[in-house]
Amino acid sequence: MSLRVHIEEMQHGDIFTTQSVLTFGTRKSVDNMIYRLIAAGQVERLAWGVFRRMHPGGPELEKPSAEEIARIKAESFRRSICACVDIPVNERHAEKLGIKPGHPTFCIHSYTSSFWYNGRRVFLIGRSAKKLQWCSTDIGHVLWRLSEIGRQACDTEIVKDLLRGLNRVPTWAELSRYALLAPAWMWQLIFVVYWSA
């Protein structure tokens, strides 16, 4: 089956990536075919390397969210993203990357990168697998913020403020589940704060 036939057999609105169709030819031949299908109105370019099948005369479709596009891009390279709200990124790192309020920002188990989507720059912040485990819980967010603040700047007052910001005070058993996921200096601060409260 050729790439043209493969794409023409897709349903209206189906999303695909360049990476997912490279089995049909070289990168250059794939890019050329997609370009021709875009010009013919059969494919819509959503973001760099991400496309959507369009049937001329088909119903109008809503734009996918930035999170959907980020997840599709990540999955095409067998990666996953963390789509938590208010991802902690230290100010110096944010300034270096050009991240400003309103920029969709996600974390990925890979290197840091970005792409433009729907008029905004979307950031994929590279993080270790261990840190990605933090992003799904409130306690994990505390660890993440401490990590971004850094060992030299952290003290017990900062830890107290972050723990107070949680919806409820976690039990020691809940905190202990993160002992192997946090560096020793961070865990020592949490230990001191928790047992001195």
Q: For residue 118, give the nearest of 45, 15, 33, 31 by alpha carbon.
A: 45
Q: pTM, whole model, 2 decimals?
A: 0.68
Q: Give the other-Cβ count within 10 Å of 131's Cβ.
A: 19
Average pLDDT for residues 30-54, to the nearest whole number? 96
Distance of alpha carbon 107 from alpha carbon 124, whole angstroms: 5
Distance of alpha carbon 30 from alpha carbon 147, whole angstroms: 42
User: What local confidence, expressed as pLDDT, does residue 78 receive?
Assistant: 87
- Which of 172 and 29 is assigned the larger pLDDT? 29
Lookup result for tokens 């990357």: 97
User: What local confidence, expressed as pLDDT, does residue 62 receive?
Assistant: 93
Comma-separated ranges of CATH 1.10.10 domains in the chain: 3-53
Cβ–Cβ under 8 Å, residues 16 and 7: yes
How is residue 7 written in tokens?
A: 């794409």
Cβ–Cβ under 8 Å, residues 148 and 88: yes
Q: How confident is the prediction for the chain on average, in pLDDT?
A: 84
Residue-wise pLDDT tens digits, 111-161: 888 899 998 888 888 877 777 767 767 788 788 788 878 888 889 998 888
CATH topology of domain 3-53: Arc Repressor Mutant, subunit A (1.10.10)
CA angle in degrees (0–180, nearest 5) for 160-165-170: 75
Average pLDDT for residues 87-102, to the nearest whole number? 60
